[in-house]
Amino acid sequence: MQVEVEEPLSILDEEGHPLNFGWARMPYFIYNPELIHISRRRLSESDRYIICSMTHILILEVFDDGYLGYIGAAILSLKDKKWTTQTYIVPFPMGSFEMPVSSEIGAVRMQQKHSLIDFISMKDGVRIIKTDIPQFGHHRRLRGELVLFSPEGAQSLFTLMPWRGEKNAFRYSQRSPWFITEGVMQFGTTDLIFTRGNAWGIFDWNRIARPRANMQYWAAACGISGGQQAGFSVGYGSVDSSQGTENAFFVNGRLHKLDQVTFHISPSNWLLPWRFTSNDNRLEMEFTPSQERVEHHQLGFYSIRRHQVCGLFSGKALLDDGAEFTFQNLAGFAERHKTRF
């Protein structure tokens, strides 16, 4: 039975043990890292934005995983099926990135080798992204500013989940696949123009006290279908999601909760079509991958592996009022993320 949290609750007791597991539509979970008593090297903090249009997917990320810090940008041209990426690795950040304790307010500002990635969260729900990377793929510059707006009355999927057999481990996440995006990114001599109604943003926010090994599958997309804005967040992994899964469908920013979702993937070729089904029969969709990207970073006994594919999602979802919502060609991505130390 999934547990919906509908009032403010702390995710940690005074001894640093996680509690109040479940999910929420609003930021009711209270996260205070000063209560965490485990080693800083086991804390993982990440802010990531995925900007989608029918021509390009842009991914910007800041990730402090204790042993290894990751600052990255990636652009996929859906037409040309080409990736361009730039990654900066910072050994042993151990909290030096000063990631905000709230997903609703605060800023993440990272500068590495004359490059800048800046995430700003405003009180009115507006997000601002600034980027300036002089040497971004084949010595082209990536520079620009994007503004992300929330639909009126938008709800996010907040989840707090434990790990089986790890009493102090937890994952606290927010997923918001409904931002309206506008702005311009200059990529070399090309202007990537994102306009309202033609560009959308997905926000992925995580604060984790993790075990020694972790694996997670996650997929998300956003766009317009049938004149309405649609998006979703679905995933599963080694975390215990029995009290609140990270699965939901969104229409015009309103959340429709799903139970367990299964990814049906060809093990030999991730570029073959995928299928997604839910055990409550509320979601069926197909994913047509366009391009894949594989990352592996190693630092001594610590390793992180990530396999990502981008493309288009089509299918149908059963909403809370019983109506069936059909969607076509939502731009997004799916990934498998493995960490071990």
* Residue at 264 is within a domain: yes
* Residue at 236 is within a domain: yes
Distance CA 182, CA 193 (A): 8
* Residue at 6 is within a domain: no
Mean pLDDT computed over every residue of the chain: 93
**pLDDT confidence bin for 81, thresholds 50/70/90:** confident
pLDDT tens-place string over residues 6-33: 999 999 999 889 999 999 999 999 999 8
pLDDT value at position 64?
A: 94
Nearest alpha-carbon partner for 160 in 98, 203, 208, 99? 208
pLDDT value at position 236?
A: 94
* Residue at 187 is within a domain: yes
Does 299 have pLDDT greater than 90? no
| Strand spans (E) along 113-163 | 115-121, 127-136, 140-149, 157-163
* Residue at 289 is within a domain: yes
**pLDDT confidence bin for 217, thresholds 50/70/90:** very high
pLDDT value at position 39?
A: 86
pLDDT value at position 221?
A: 97
Residue carrying structure tokens 């040309």: 80
Nearest alpha-carbon partner for 236 in 221, 252, 215, 220? 215
Which of 97-106, 139-148, 255-264, 292-301 has the weakest average pLDDT?
292-301
pLDDT value at position 166?
A: 85
Distance CA 134, CA 142 (A): 6
pLDDT value at position 231?
A: 97
Which of 93-102, 181-190, 297-306 has the weakest average pLDDT?
297-306
Phi, psi at 34, each rounded to 5°: -65, -20
User: What region, left, alpha or beta, does residue 189 occupy, with left being phi > 0 and alpha being psi -120 to 50 degrees?
Assistant: alpha
Parent domain of 270: 39-340
pLDDT tens-place string over residues 98-152: 999 999 888 999 988 789 999 999 878 899 999 999 988 777 899 999 999 999 9
pTM as predicted? 0.95
Does 170 have pLDDT greater than 90? yes
- Asked whether the beta carbons of 222 and 230 are under 8 A apart, the reply is yes
pLDDT value at position 214?
A: 86
Over residues 38-54, the mean pLDDT reads: 92
* Residue at 71 is within a domain: yes
Total domains, the chain: 1
Distance CA 108, CA 93 (A): 14
pLDDT value at position 113?
A: 78
Over residues 309-320, the mean pLDDT reads: 96
* Residue at 16 is within a domain: no
* Residue at 296 is within a domain: yes
Does 341 have pLDDT greater than 80? no
Q: Is the dihedral of CA 67, 305, 232, 7 positive or negative?
A: negative
pLDDT value at position 127?
A: 96
